[in-house]
Amino acid sequence: MEKNVICEILGNVGIVKMNRSKKLNAFTRELTTELTRALEECERNEKVSLVILRGSTERAFSAGGDLRSDQLILEAEGLEQAVGELRGEYELGEYISKYSKPLIAYMNGITMGGGAGISMVAKFRIVTETTRWAMPEMKIGFFPDVGMAYFFLT
């Protein structure tokens, strides 16, 4: 089974890659937990002075929350667990916003929903010709997540 997150240290740079490329790096409980752990590992490593957060392929940074996973959790475990799933994304966004080292969100490919949210709280962002940035959940009546409403106001 592939890891959801790959963490590499190249010299003084920590490279943290979301690795659910078949699902466009959509956030699940597991991805959010593993991503937080990898970022914490880089933050604790004294040799690392810069961290790059990216997708493992050029296809997507992150499509945001995995709505299918959220629905399955809601049905199997109940509302409290489903809310906890979303809380994990918000906590990840808060953690990134307070990250003690320079963090670059390399927004290759699809960057939507919660993926856009966590990219916005990184200290630096890089977009490319292939970046597709959007908040599609707003079209179905969902509130922009992971703090994006704040950025729409500024």
Gap between the Cα atoms of 136 and 9, Å rounded: 34
* Three-state secondary-structure class, residue 11: coil
Gap between the Cα atoms of 24 and 41, Å rounded: 24
Catalytic residue among 14, 55, 64, 65: 65
CA-based nearest residue to 117, from 61, 34, 52, 58: 61
Catalytic residue among 88, 109, 113, 114: 114
145 is catalytic: yes
Residues with Cβ within 8 Å of residue 6, at least 6 apart in sequence = 16, 17, 19, 56
3-class secondary structure for 115-149?
Answer: HHHHHHCCCEEEECCCCEEECHHHHHCCCCCCCHH
137 is catalytic: yes
Q: Which residues are tagged catalytic?
A: 65, 114, 137, 145
